[in-house]
Structure 1
């Protein structure tokens, strides 16, 4: 018979709850005993039933185990409190150092902007001037670099546009040549047609139908 999975919630039936408590309690006691024997561990187990009845197991003495637990807890709590106090003090010192650095940076920023220079000595003013000169040199170098990069991009774009212009010019020249050839062929054809039509003889007669005479083409042209 397959054992179903037990649902982890309070058993509503009192009889079933008591039976389950007895079985699980005995199994827990057995596991505690096995752990103490197999692993040579100091084990103490305290269980109160729903009705308040006490069940306990100890591999040596339950009172000694409880005292050992309390002593261990006090040591750990003391260490934890000491470490917490040290961490808090360290954080306070770091916060103070950060505030001092922020104040120094704010003061230096105001001086670089030309503010609060009344209390500065000659040496401090010279240092500020040198710092500004170094900053200006870096800014100018960066600006020159940016200009050069932009010029390079524009030159590359110019080369691309020139290549495209050459390609379009070649296409236009080829197209114009084709159109010129088509025009020449059309003119030749029209000339040939005109020449052919000029060779056609036409008859011209003068006078009444009964007495009209034919005029030769040579006379007409004269």
Structure 2
């Protein structure tokens, strides 16, 4: 009798998809960079069919864009598109925080506090991947306990695209201390069951992150324009 289950094709596909998504959102592949199927197959040790299916799904998330005569490339976000994403994220995340403050169990709030401490420790390591994962855990806890499935679905769809910008903005030396302080304020609001404060802090956190991300994106876009005409 077999003691281990065979890996199902769908499980393999998800693993390939997750690996490529993480490489994109962590900055291993830069916006506009080609995703060469052969290299992905060799790096991941999987078939071309698995890679193509993963790329199709990431294209649906708008993380990948197919360019004629070039093939799949990492998607780029314009300044205006980023502004719109952050604006809607601020509203929805504020709402999620407000609901979490009143609807979440004491255990969930304690879990959020522990995750916030883990985020601070990850930030101290200076490892961008660790910080992004720790930040992702925070959001998972809040969204899983705000009791609004539609808000969860929309925000989780945003996060993949926003992660194209988050790695640089979050780790910016002038932003990181303020980001951690805002998360600490959010923990305090949750512990006090203060929905109004939680909503305000969550929105402010996104607005401040947006300002840094847009500044960096504008600078990168300007440099790319200069490089193109030089």
What TM-score, normalized to structure 1? 0.23
What TM-score, normalized to structure 2? 0.22
Q: Which has the larger radius of gyration?
A: 1
Structure with larger RCO (C-alpha < 8 A, sep 6+): 2
